[in-house]
Structures are given as structure tokens and as C-alpha cells.
Amino acid sequence: MLKIVSVAVFVGMSSCIKAAGTVPAGQIVFFRSFFAIFPIIVLLAFQGKLGTAFSTKRPLNHIARGVVGVCAMGLGFFALTRLPLPEAITLNYAQPLLVVVFSSIFLGEAIRVYRWSAVAVGLVGVLVISWPELTLLGSGAALGDQEVLGVIAALVAAAISAVAMLLVRNLVQSEPTATIVLWFSVTASVVALLSLPFGWQALTPAQAGLLIAAGFCGGLAQILMTAAYRHAEASVVAPFEYTSMLLGIAVGYLAFGDVPTVHMLVGGLIVVAAGIFIIWRERQLGLERARTRQATPPQG
């Protein structure tokens, strides 16, 4: 339930950003990151952990994760303002597929044929979703088309976000979740603020309100997501991420008049199936490793 609510709040965040219109990506990242700090601080104060939340021996690792995360977030928000809401959400599903690929390339993790096959199938689904825009790009008929740029931005954002996930994997080995989240929000706010000279625009009261709401939603959703993973195994919780596709379709249609295309529906189902298979396979391998450890007698 916590995961489903967190997904709904994240969709609400995306909807607020889309409703704000074509605001510069750096400006959106600042509002999303800065105002996310407030609900996180409230939670830390309630838990009595506020005084130690910033304590770390790895500040450079946190900053690196923040810079990479800002790049992914900025491109993702750029895509969100140029694409229908369901399509922008569904293209982000490429991220867990790319995490598998990058884990093999950068971390040397052994990836067996089942997961490679699921990644290949999932990327075919991404291609199906993107095909109408990529065809336009190849023909040169609409090179400046905003949707083409949106698709490219969404896919690059998914790739950079996968790198950010690898950095988080490294951080969680020694850092508390609250420290990671708070460092990211503060770092992202500072980095996004550096984009101010590159064309921030004056916001209407409605736009400012929507972006502030997006920030609060982002912080609240992070808290709910963290709580979800604390109460159940990742393999149980993670598949519920895909409820965002259904919510995205519903909100996109009701709020923005976005009608999902056949390409989006078919490709989305392929990507979701591949993602769920990878999660299931990770669970099976985890159970195998646990049985092996139990069967191995202690040394000495």
C-alpha cells in the first residue's frame, strides 16, 4: 500500500510539472529538489535524526550522485513538458533495464542469459513506444519537433538515471537512507540554482504554486517509497512501480486530454513484462544464494 501511494504521489508530482507548462528544466529541478527538503526535514525531526542526517564520511560520493541525478531529472522534466504524460512515464521504465546492462559493464556483475533476454525484450518495447517519433526524426520531416526531442531526452534521462542508481547502490552500503535523500535534495537544489543565468523565466502564481506542490509531492513520495522498502522485500514492492502506467494514462486523459496510442500501450506492456521478469529473476537468484549460504558449513 505504501508503494502504491508513493507511485500515486509521484504521478501527482509529474502532473503538477506538466500542468506548469514549458518552464526551463533547471528551474523545475530547483523547485522539485528544494521544496522536497521540507517534508524530509519534518520526518527526520520527528524521528530525532535531524542532527545527524548530514553526517557522512563520503561527501564527494554524495555530490557525484547529486550531479548525475540532476542531469537525469532535468532531462526527464524536459521530456515531461514535451510528451503526453503516459508516454513520458512509460519511457522511464527503460531505467531498470539499463541498470542491468550497466551493472554488467561497470560493476562486473554476472548477468545470465535470462536477464539479458528480458533486457533485450524490454528495449524492443521501448523502441515500439518511441517508433512514431524516431521515424519522423529519420525522415527529417520534423527534425525540430518537440515530441522528438522529448523522446530523446526521456531515453537519455533513463540512461543517466541508471548510472545514478549504481551510485546509490554503492552509497547504501555505508550510508543511512535519510542521509542519502537529504544530501541529494540539497545538492540538486544547489546545482539547479547554477542554471539561473541560463534563462529562468518569471513564473505566474499558478506556475509557482504547481512547482512548489511538485516539490512537496516529490519529498513525500520519497518518504513513502523508503517506508515501503523497509516493510517488505524489494522483489515484492518493486512490481507495483508499474501501477504508474495506469495512473499516468488515467490522469493524462482526464487532466490533459492525452489519449494513449497503440504504440504506447503495446510497447508499455512489453517493457512492464520484461521489468517484472527481471525482478522475479533477481528474487530467484537471491533465494538460491541464501540456500547456498545455509548449506555451506562454517569454516574452521
The predicted structure's pLDDT at residue 141: 47
Average pLDDT over residues 239-244: 83
Residue 210: pLDDT band with limits 50, 70, 90: very high
Task: Please count the residues of the chain.
Answer: 300
pTM of the model: 0.82
- 245: closest CA among 131, 87, 120? 87
Q: Residue 215 CB: number of other CB atoms within 10 A?
A: 26
- In whole angstroms, give the CA distance from residue 152 to residue 133: 9
pLDDT of residue 213: 97
pLDDT confidence bin for 143, thresholds 50/70/90: very low
Give the model's pLDDT for residue 56: 87
- Name residue 254's amino acid: L
| pLDDT tens per residue, range 39-59 | 989 888 888 888 888 888 899
CB contact at 8 A, 120 and 275: no
What is the DSSP code string of the chain? -HHHHHHHHHHHHHHHHHHT-S--HHHHHHHHHHTTHHHHHHHHHHHT-GGGTT--S-HHHHHHHHHHHHHHHHHHHHHHHHS-HHHHHHHTTHHHHHHHHHHHHHH-----HHHHHHHHHHHHHHHHHHHHHHHHHHHTTTTT-HHHHHHHHHHHHHHHHHHHHHHHHHHTTTS-HHHHHHHHHHHHHHHHHTTGGGT--PPPHHHHHHHHHHHHHHHHHHHHHHHHHHHS-HHHHGGGGGHHHHHHHHHHHHHH-PPPPHHHHHHHHHHHHHHHHHHHHHHHHHHHHHHHHHHSPPP-
How much of the chain, in percent, has pLDDT values that exceed 70? Answer: 92
Task: Say whether pLDDT at 283 is over 80.
Answer: no
Mean pLDDT of 264-285: 85
CB count in 10 Å sphere of residue 198: 10
The residue that leads in pLDDT, 195 or 278, is: 195
- 88-129 pLDDT tens trace: 888 888 888 888 888 888 878 777 888 889 889 988 888 888
The predicted model gives 207-227 an average pLDDT of 91
Tell me how crowded residue 154 is: count the other CB atoms within 10 A of its CB: 26
Give the cell for residue 291: 540456500
Q: pLDDT value at position 200?
A: 92
- How confident is the model at residue 101, as a pLDDT? 87
Q: What region does 17 belong to: left with phi over 0, alpha with psi -120 to 50, or beta?
A: alpha
